[in-house]
């Protein structure tokens, strides 16, 4: 019998893991506020959680991990907070470049990187280029990313090709359209996780999440542990995915 107040360890079948997990890393600010700390402290703690969870996903054999790091709407936040997030990302990428030969993790970036500081843009490009040949877990970092913006960009690209006579609108399929998205070439997420108690998608992978399973938890992202990820995996495995069928 489990001790009073202690949650039972989730049972996960590691032979039936999802290929692709996507996470909205939410709750950093609330975590900090509950401790009387500045929001920047929450983002620093959240960055460490990202490192822990990304490493664990690689260890258990998750093939694709996509995380929502900074949305197209996050520019509305105070400049101090935005600068702190950019600084943490820079620190992480510098460390990743040092460790990537050992970890074999592939890094990709979804979103429009052009508004980012030049040094950070260069780091993103270097990280993606240097890790392209690795065969380990692929980590997609959504940075200045918005699902609606992604779909609009894809539609405009296709429309331009139609106008140039390169494509025919009536021949467009869902598979073709997926090839215009940032996520081209990888499977859609099987499981989307959102911590912090919020239960909405917040403009994240709108096209790709059409048939994803969702897992919501009240745990704020800095407190999101390996055990909580196992709970999400157990919940995912308990569901029947019919994709619109019977």
Residue 244: the pLDDT is 59
Tens-place pLDDT, residues 46-105: 999 999 999 999 999 999 999 999 999 999 999 999 999 999 999 999 988 888 778 889
Q: Is residue 125 part of a domain?
A: yes
Q: Which residue in the block uniquely carries the two structure tokens 């399973």? A: 213
In a domain, 121, yes or no: yes
Q: How many CB atoms lie within 10 A of CB 170?
A: 6
Give which of 74, 83, 64 is closest to 144, Cα–Cα: 74
Residue 139 to residue 183: CA distance in whole angstroms: 11
What pLDDT, on the 0 to 100 scale, is given for residue 9?
82
Percent of the chain residues past pLDDT 90, beyond the cut: 87
Output the domain CATH number for residue 90. Answer: 3.40.1180.10
Mean pLDDT over all residues of the chain?
Answer: 93
Q: Per the domain annotation, does 243 fall within a domain?
A: no
Question: Is residue 7 domain-resident?
Answer: no
Tell whether the model's pLDDT for residue 212 goes beyond 90. yes
Per-residue pLDDT, averaged over 199-209, amounts to 97
Q: Note whether residue 171 is domain-resident.
A: no
pLDDT score recorded for residue 82: 95
Q: Of 25, 18, 19, nearest to 143 (Cα)?
A: 25
Strands (E), the chain: 20-24, 64-71, 106-110, 138-145, 191-194, 213-216
- Number of domains comprising the chain: 1
Q: Quick one: angle between helices 226-237 and 39-60, nearest 10?
A: 60
pLDDT, residue 1, reads 42
Asked whether residue 182 is domain-assigned, the answer is no
> What pLDDT, on a 0 to 100 scale, did the predictor assign at position 101?
78
Active site residue ranges? 26, 74
> Residue 90: which domain range?
20-148+187-237
- For the record, the structure tokens of 76 come out as 């509305």
Does 69 map to a domain? yes
The distance between the two most distant Cα atoms of the chain, rounded to a whole number of Å, is 68
Q: 170 lies in a domain?
A: no
User: Do the strands 191-194 and 213-216 form a parallel or antiparallel pair, or are they unpaired?
Assistant: parallel
């Amino acid at each position: 019998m489990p001790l009073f107040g202690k949650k039972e360890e989730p049972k996960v079948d590691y032979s039936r893991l999802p290929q692709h997990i996507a996470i909205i890393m939410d709750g950093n600010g609330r975590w900090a506020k509950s401790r009387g700390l500045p929001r920047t402290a929450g983002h620093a703690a959240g960055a460490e959680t990202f490192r822990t969870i990304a490493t664990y996903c690689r260890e258990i054999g998750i093939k694709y991990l996509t995380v929502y790091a900074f949305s197209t709407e996050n520019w509305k936040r105070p400049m101090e907070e935005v600068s702190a997030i950019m600084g943490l990302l820079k620190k992480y990428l510098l460390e990743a470049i040092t460790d990537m030969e050992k970890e074999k993790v592939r890094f990709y970036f979804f979103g429009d990187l052009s508004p980012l500081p030049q040094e950070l843009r260069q780091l993103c490009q270097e990280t993606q280029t240097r890790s392209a040949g690795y065969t380990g877990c692929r980590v997609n970092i959504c940075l200045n990313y918005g699902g609606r913006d992604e779909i609009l960009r894809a539609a405009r690209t296709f429309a331009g090709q139609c106008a140039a006579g390169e494509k025919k609108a009536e021949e467009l399929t869902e598979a073709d359209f997926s090839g215009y998205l940032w996520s081209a070439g990888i499977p859609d997420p099987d499981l989307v996780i959102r911590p912090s108690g919020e239960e909405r998608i917040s403009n994240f992978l709108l096209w790709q999440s059409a048939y994803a399973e969702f897992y919501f938890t009240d745990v704020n992202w800095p407190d999101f542990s390996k055990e909580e990820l196992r709970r999400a995996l157990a919940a995912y495995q308990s569901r029947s995915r019919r994709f619109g069928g019977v």
